[in-house]
A and B are shown apart, each in its own frame.
Chain A
Amino acid sequence: MRLRHCLLLPLLCGLLLGQDATVKDAFLQAKSLWATQGDREGATQRFDSVVAALAPKGISLEPEGVQMLCEAYNWLAVLDDRSQQNKPRAQVRLQALIDLNPDFDVDRALTSQRLAAQFDRLKGEKFALVKLSLAPEGGRLLVDGKAVPALPRKYLPFGLHKLAYARPGHTPAELTLELGPKDVKTAEFKLERIASTLTFYVQPSDIEVLLDGKSLGHTTGKAGPEAAAMATPLGLRPEDLSAAFVIPELPAGKHRLELRAPCFRTRILELGEDLATPPADHTLEPIRMEASKGILSVASAWPGGELFLSGQSLGPLPVVKALVCSGPYELLVRFPGGGFSQRVTLQDGKALDLEARPKPRLAFAGLEGGDFTGRARFQALLEALGDRLQQLAFLPARPGEAPREALARLKASREAELVLIATPVQDPVIHRVELVLATLDGEEEHLLVKPLEQDPLGKLATRLNTLPRLSEPGLGLTLLDVPGEPGPWVLAASETALKAGIQTGQPLLQFEGKPLPTAETLRQQLGSAKGSLSLGQGGAALTLPVLQEAVELPLGSPELCYPAILSHLRLQYAGAKGDEANLIKLNMALALMQFRRYDKAIELLRDARLTTVRGVSQGTIDYHTGLCFIHLGPAYQSEAAQAFRQALKYPQATLLGPEGPLVAPLARQALEDLR
């Protein structure tokens, strides 16, 4: 006996672990032990093990489990009834059975008449019989709001009950019954059909269903054996299909049934009027969805890029003709320094080729805590900021990540060049939010915005999209608008211009054969000019080449966002050479000077060498170097003086641009001040 118990232990453990197959096996073994060997004790032990495994689950059991548990109780009651020692337990078994499922009837062939009568008596003490007439069948029965199997006979506890019966395409019905001891009542439901129903299966599952453009939900689950007849001719198994999707009331007239899902071609079925009228139940053939893919190619001249589509890596660039499910994506290319992001839509069967140019990445770290009116709208605006940025790749905040944690992560991973963090200003009532936009090296700007204004981020977006030019087209001429003169007056001209025939002290009268009223007109025309231009001073037309002349980054401009500019310049510098690279260095230094990072600015300026001597040139670099040293304090006076002396070697060097103030008098004064 003990040995048997020991042998049963693993079985019980298995049952406890919810191994349904083992429970079923034990159940069948128990029946077999009794039927074939007459081993009552062995059968009882196995039935007990089934009860021990299933009873704790109670009403959460699947119908099959309930049925097995009920039968086990039935068997145990019979076995206990035959044992003098266990006879009292038989009633307990029966009571448990009734409590579990009052609609279950004991096996009258197996159960003695006496025990069956005892069962009926026990049931009759708490339950009354309701005979149900359901027309048409196949509907859904609710007793006191709870779905129950639609059986022709139901036992319900004494008291007042509300019964409801419904079936798609029919008017639902309900009635109320008062049940007492020994009552046997009849409940008759005869539903009236009001519309057609449409049932269909889709392969695969999780497909959105739209009727006449209105979403009805998604297909779910898997079809059961009832779909086998339809699945087999198509070479499918029932479980390949979704569970039946029922449109319960198909209105009269024609309809358009649309099935759609990412990665699949949208299926559209035109439903004829005959499906809706006369009202009937219709089942469509299973609908198979066809895969839908686009072809994506992404390349870049910058090395080290890795492609991500909505967060999923597609590997390093170049990505050539990758088959990708059609649909919208957040495309992101991560470069070692910078990123490229774009919202793309891949269309079925069509190719999309992209060239990725790295842009500085702006990571939104999140909106700090603090409740205020309009928070949800403001948060949404922050999250959608990326849609408004043309010059930056936007990385949205990670769901659930606190802004400070995000900041720490970004600083550690350096997966962005810029970070945006929003903090409500803790006034008695919050009306302002501080936006901090910073590089990972700490150059930051603070902006205060009012979350309830029409477009609190509009100005920031505009500033982030504005990039200054580092050069402008010119002709090597210094022009003045002199009142009374017929055109811009030539004050000075470069050697090239003089050789081309330009005369100083004379006005320019024509530009590309058209009258030229002002210097500003010429400047605007130069913006779109390339190669060379034709000018006139009253005589024969002259041709002058269009040159790119270096300019300095404007400082203190409210239209520019300097942390972003610094990030752009750092990225540009990575791909630049010669004078272009050194001009970028100069402008990076200027941006750093804006943030009072004079030591870092000197590091850049010290290595920068421009070959030009006129306009923004080497003298400009030397002058700024001197200014930076002055800001570092008296310890660097000699270095500052050295830099200013260097600047004096370039008498034609200017600040700001080719027409800006000369560096020389400023450097001379600075030297005098140092003395």
Chain B
Amino acid sequence: MPALSPWLRLPAALLCVVPVLAQAPPQDAGLAERLYRSGDRAYTDKAYKEALETWTQLLQAAPGSTFAPQALLRLARHQVEIEQKPDAAMPFLDRLRGEYIKSPEAAEGLLLRGVLLARQARRPADLKDAMAEFNRVLDLFPEAAACAEARLQLGRAWRDQGQPGRALQLFVDAFRLREDATAAAPAMLEAAKVLDTLGDLPSCLRMLQQLRTRAPQSPEAQEAAWRTAVLVKQRLQKPTLKNEGPWPAGRTKWLKTPILLAMAPEGDLLLFQSDLDRTFRLRGGELIPQGPAAPGTRALVSAPSGPLWLLTKAGLLREDTPTVLPLGALGAISGAALDRWGTLWVADAKTPALTLFPLEGPARTVASPTASALAPLPTGGVVIAADADRKLLFLDPDGQPRTIVPYGKDLPAAFRTVTALAADGVGQVAALVDGGDFGEGVVIYGPDGAVLRQATFKALGITGRITSLVLDRSGGVILCDRRNDLLLRLN
């Protein structure tokens, strides 16, 4: 038999191979499903190692199966939710995005990737990649359930970039286009906050009421309730401040030199007692020790995730970190605040600048007058009291003054110094003031710097030595009196 010409050998070989390729067994879909279910069962039983191994095996054995993207998403979620290692989740999410972009799981994967990227952001510009992922969810999977959450996250990103109008659009769409979504209640709450930022208080209050009507059992509804109470009382009713006397329940002489107050994110009062060198959480009328002993504490900061940060002469003590972090040359700390990027803003009574300590990297300073007090603002900036200039400065997240309020503006008389500042989550600022013709007293400002309520201690009948204050969630002011070892409430 004559051999084939070399020109015909390749086509002939291909012709021989084609039927073989055509008959190649398809990937075993049944095996992929069994592996996925097996991993799922192990995961439910909290046998995580076995589950992860099984899903990894699935990815190797049947990468073309529809269960492969599901496995990748589960692997990523495990790293985030159980292992608390978002960086370890990224390779799975990258592969999901790169190889399975057409799968239904890709929407959830992109969303999770965006959320993780947003968490890593340390400044507004860092949100770019996260926003791109959220936009991909909306563009590629317009029908997906993940869209509502993507809109919510995108709205937050725009808000953090100083674009409240765009943020509002996205928050509204998040609850308007998917009524049932779990993101609806948070989106309504965020929309209400943005509306207040935009100066539309009636719309903000209506939104809070709608949230309470539509999702009455949600945590957001609980927050909406106290926000409504505070906004109505402080901004609309503005009743004259009255001294309710010792608080809670008329208790006197029950503390050991209280000097600092702060409000925890969940609404509990945090109280530093100088004689005990400790901070306590007041819950249900009982004092519960919180954080380490910290002699010489000058400022209390409660992080949004819960741990207490104490600023002392020795440095920063974090409840969640055993070591003391030095705060440089700051020896007269007059106030501190954590912004949404995790940066600690510290005011020092002897330093004509604010010192910013980011989560990572070196500290930097922001030009500012010397601040005798500092409090965080919900917009991401801070408010400081500059006694030398006799002004209150409302700073934006970049440290630039947005509103400047001279001491005594809109008051019958001016005061000279600010002993302490406190802000509530809604944007009101309370100042503990002293000196001048006004004397010792309390002034409550709105987010725009307008005086909402004020009273002198003389008028209130307070004779103790007040060193700190907070705004509570019922529209009242709590003062700590170190001389009489008690708390007072103004309402």
A669 to chain B, nearest CB (A): 4
Contact, CB under 8 Å: A556 / B181: yes
Chain A residues contacting B176 (CB-CB under 8 Å) are 555, 655-656
A480 close to B232 (CB less than 8 A): yes
Contact A481 B209 (CB under 8 A): yes
Instruction: State in angstroms the CA–CA spacing of A558 and B181 once bound together.
Output: 10
Distance between Cα atoms of A483 and B169 in the complex (Å): 29
For window 632-655 of chain A, which residues contact chain B by CB distance below 8 Å? 655
Within 8 Å of chain A (Cβ to Cβ): is B90? Answer: no
In the complex, what residue of chain B is closest to A554 when comparing beta carbons?
Answer: B179
Q: For B207, list chain A residues within 8 Å (CB).
A: 661
Pairwise interchain contact A480-B172, C-beta atoms closer than 8 A: no
- Using CB atoms, name the residue of chain B closest to A479: B209
Annotate A346-360 by CB proximity to B: 1 below 8 A, 0 otherwise.
000000000000000
* CB of B57 closer than 8 Å to a CB of A: no
B30 beta carbon closer than 8 Å to chain A: yes
Closest to B168 in A: A665
Given A480-B232, A483-B229, A555-B179, A662 and B200 contact (CB-CB distance below 8 Å): yes
| Binary contact track B169-196/A, C-beta < 8 Å → 1, others 0 | 1001000111111000000000100010
A670 touches B169 (CB 8 A): yes
**Chain A contacts for B404, CB-based, 8 A:** none
A428 at the interface (CB under 8 A from B): yes
List B contacts of A655 (CB < 8 A): 172, 176
Q: Does B203 contact A (CB under 8 A)?
A: yes
**Is B169 in contact with A669, judged by CB distance below 8 angstroms?**
yes
> What CA separation (Å) do A478 and B205 show in the bound complex?
10
> A519–B213 contact, CB under 8 A?
yes
- Is B206 interfacial (CB-CB < 8 Å)? yes
Quick check: A659 and B206 within 8 Å, CB to CB?
A: yes
Tell me the bound Cα distance from A655 to B188 in angstroms.
13
Residues facing B in A542-559 (CB within 8 A) are: 554-559
Verify if A668 is at the interface (C-beta below 8 Å from B): yes
Task: Tell me, rounded to whole Å, the shortest Cβ–Cβ distance linking A452 to chain B.
Answer: 18
Q: Which of A154-162, A199-207, A484-492, A605-613 contacts B (4 or more CB under 8 A)?
A: A484-492
A666: Cβ under 8 A from any B Cβ: yes
Chain A residues 519-572 with CB under 8 Å of chain B are 519-520, 523, 554-559
The closest CB in chain B to the CB of A672 belongs to B165
Closest to B180 in A: A558
- In the complex, what's the smallest C-beta–C-beta distance from B412 to chain A, in angstroms? 25
B200 / chain A contacts, CB cutoff of 8 Å = 662, 665
> Is A520 a contact of B232 with CB atoms below 8 Å?
no
Chain A residues whose CB sits within 8 angstroms of the CB of B210 once the complex forms: 659-660
In the complex the two chains form, is A666's CB within 8 Å of B172's CB? yes
Q: Is the CB of B165 within 8 A of A668?
A: yes
Q: Cβ of A555: which chain B residues have Cβ within 8 Å of it? A: 176-179
Q: Among residues 226 to 260 in chain B, which have CB atoms less than 8 Å away from a CB atom of chain A?
A: 226, 228-229, 232-233, 236-237
Closest to A670 in B: B169
- The answer to whether A669 touches B166, judged by C-beta atoms less than 8 angstroms apart, is yes
| Bound: A662/B195 CA distance, A | 10
Question: Closest residue to B163 on the A side, CB-wise?
Answer: A669
| Chain B positions within 8 Å of A482 at CB level | 228-229, 232-233
- Least CB distance from B42 to A in Å reads 23
Q: Is B484 an interface residue (CB 8 A)?
A: no
A666 touches B206 (CB 8 A): no
The 3 A-B pairs of least Cβ separation, nearest first, read A556-B178, A669-B165, A483-B229
Given contacts A480-B228, A489-B232, A554-B179, 17 further A-B contacts (CB under 8 A): A480-B232, A481-B209, A481-B212, A482-B229, A483-B474, A491-B206, A519-B209, A556-B179, A557-B179, A661-B168, A661-B191, A662-B200, A662-B203, A666-B168, A669-B169, A670-B169, A672-B165
A-B contact pairs, 18 of them (CB 8 A): A482-B229, A483-B229, A483-B474, A484-B474, A491-B205, A492-B202, A519-B209, A520-B216, A556-B179, A655-B176, A659-B210, A665-B195, A665-B200, A665-B203, A666-B169, A668-B165, A669-B168, A670-B169
